[in-house]
Structure 1
Amino acid sequence: MSYPNSMATMSNTLETDLQTLQQEAEKEITAVDSLEALEQLRINYLGKKGKLSQILRGMGKLSAEERPRVGSLANEVKESLQSHLDNQRNSLETAKLKAQLAAETLDVTMPGVSRPLGRLHPLNSTVDRVLDIFVGLGYQVATGPHIETDYYNFEALNIPPDHPARDMQDTFFLTENVLMRTHTSPVQIRYMETHEPPIRIVAPGRVYRRDTVDATHSAVFHQVEILAVDKGLTFTDLKGTIKEFLTQMFGEELPVKFRASYFPFTEPSAEVDVQWKGKWLEVMGCGMVDPNVLKAVGYDPEVYTGFAAGLGIERFAMVLHQIDDIRRLYNSDIRFLSQF
């Protein structure tokens, strides 16, 4: 920008340029619609290389009398522009915040996204119900591995390699001496090996047998077994325990029968029948622990006696919920499972 040589003319020109710059700047500041553009205007007008600085370079040619007047005007222009910039910045920030709030506002009158509550599977709820009863009777929950050795699954339970009872549990061998457990009885052996009597345990778990799948059989199913070992335990204690369990399980005292049976790890042994809705149902097996089993874990059968009992969870679940096919418990049909 060039200026006339006359000091008065120079002063008037600078004042005019300052006023013109103020008008143009204020007009642009008022029209700007973004914070980024506003910042660019600030740099263009008030920056070190901005338009205001360019105008003020001519003050060096003014007289000492004129310089304060032009300088005072320059400060007024600068303060005015800075004030307009601040006001516009506040306006833009407020508008931006309002727009963000409007975009993120939730309509609390609209229905929420439905997340149905989960429910316990009938097998899980049946296991929990059985465990609650026995824990209430003073039993401790014990668990063990699903992959067992032949010793724990058979031999320690009085089932030697040539015993015909093994034919009833023809199962899944992983190697010659390692298999998927066929019952939860190995848990009892492992527990007795590391604990001294008196003991009372309840052992729930999944078991595996090579059964043909049909309405009442599955190759994978669930058992719960109990074991009590102490001095002086008799079959009467066993009967009383089972009758109390069945009363709590079915919610009423029902007729119960004990039929003589055979299990290689108990002697004497019995099957337990209960009369439910006018029919006799076989619900579990039981017996006094065979002395050979006690010897296998280092207990003296002359000092200690014990009783054991076992039941199939699927059997109880089907009876209590009137389920007609065991396969319904495993096919994950939400229409079926949502009933429970």
Structure 2
Amino acid sequence: CSTEGSAPRPVIGPDSVEVLGYSYPRDDFTNVTPKILEKVGRNLHNQSHHPLWLIKERIKAHFYSSYMGRWGNPLFSVHDNLSPVVTVEQNFDSRKKGDNYYLNRATMLRAHTSAHQSDLVRSGLDAFLLAGDVYRRDEIDAIRLFSNHEVRGFGRSTDASEQETHTLEAVKLVEFNLKQTLTRLITNLFGDLEVRWVDCYFPFTHPLFEMEVRFHGDWLEVLGCGVMEQELLNSGQNTHIHLTYLEHTQNILTTYMRFV
């Protein structure tokens, strides 16, 4: 579902913000800047042969070849042309005004591609990849800008067992499979690298890990992953987590990758 083409130039007027052909009335929450809006609609990840496009296509190819259906069809659908303008409800995992770019009280630029996750799950999809530009008021450093790009995957086994009843052995097996899958992905993308896993915490997710790789003599975070708590799955609510499908594990698994 990817497309290319030029988008209308965003404009911040005295009473409204024009983005991607739509007009949003300004209010006391409007804090998006012209510099940020200049990046909206560029879709660098969909421009053929751009470095971001190359990375995205390699990730797609890896999952397409690794996870096939019975008839040889890819198990993952790909969604890389969804609008970065979302509702506050969709942007469930980051809503502080100081951390985000608001068009008004009701709409904002997505902070994570997980803003689309709940809608896709409710549409009946069990395995998909999301790619797109995201906007956050991060502190600028070697790997973060105010505008970044994310690739994330979601997946679940149709015969998923209850997480609360898992034995320690089952949890360790899930952890092993998850880390092995993502290590293969990183190796496919960047070659053999020294890797380490760091235990992390986030509500509704256990266990949760970050992968770091040795880069120029230092450790660099490249992705996070974890297992979504069963309660969240049962409630049908969205989560902060970014999922990846492991065909033979009976869990909801999550992963994300962020590229500047």
Q: Give the TM-score taking structure 1 as reference length.
A: 0.47
Instruction: Figure out how many residues of one structure are paired with residues of the other and give that number.
Output: 181
Q: How many Å separate the matches in 1 of 2:143 and 2:237? A: 38
Q: How many Å separate the matches in 1 of 2:98 and 2:189? A: 28
Give the match for residue 251 of structure 2.
305
Q: How many Å separate the matches in 2 of 1:212 and 1:275? A: 22
| Contact 1:173/1:179, CA 8 A, preserved across alignment | yes
Residue 207 of structure 2 is aligned with which of 268, 276, 284?
268
- Give the 3 Å change call, closer, same or farther, for CA 228–236 of structure 1 in structure 2: farther
Q: How many Å separate the matches in 2 of 1:222 and 1:145? A: 13
Alignment of 1:218-297 (within 5 A): 218-230=145-157, 231=160, 234-252=174-192, 254-264=193-203, 266-276=205-215, 278-297=217-236
Q: How many Å separate the matches in 2 of 1:187 and 1:210? A: 20
Give the match for residue 135 of structure 2.
208
| 2:56 match: secondary structure | helix
Give the match for residue 62 of structure 2.
133
| 2:53 match: secondary structure | helix
Q: How many Å separate the matches in 2 of 1:244 and 1:256? A: 11
Give, in angstroms, the shift of residue 169 of structure 1. Answer: 7.8
Q: How many Å separate the matches in 2 of 1:273 and 1:213? A: 19
- Select the structure with the greater relative contact order (CA < 8 A; seq sep ≥ 6): 2
Could you list the runs of 5+ residues in structure 1 that have no partner in the other structure?
1-117, 160-164, 315-340
- The C-alpha deviation readout for 1:236-283, integer Å capped at 9, x for no partner, is 33112111101111223x342221112345322111112356543221
Give the match for residue 19 of structure 2.
none
The structure with the greater share of residues assigned to strand is: 2
Q: How many Å separate the matches in 2 of 1:265 and 1:175? A: 29
- The C-alpha deviation readout for 1:285-322, integer Å capped at 9, x for no partner, is 111123343234379xxxx63111111122xxxxxxxx
| 1:151 match: secondary structure | coil
| Contact 1:224/1:311, CA 8 A, preserved across alignment | yes
- Give the 3 Å change call, closer, same or farther, for CA 296–175 of structure 1 in structure 2: farther
| Contact 2:118/2:237, CA 8 A, preserved across alignment | no
The structure with the greater share of residues assigned to helix is: 1
Q: CA RMSD in A?
A: 3.0
| Contact 1:152/1:186, CA 8 A, preserved across alignment | yes
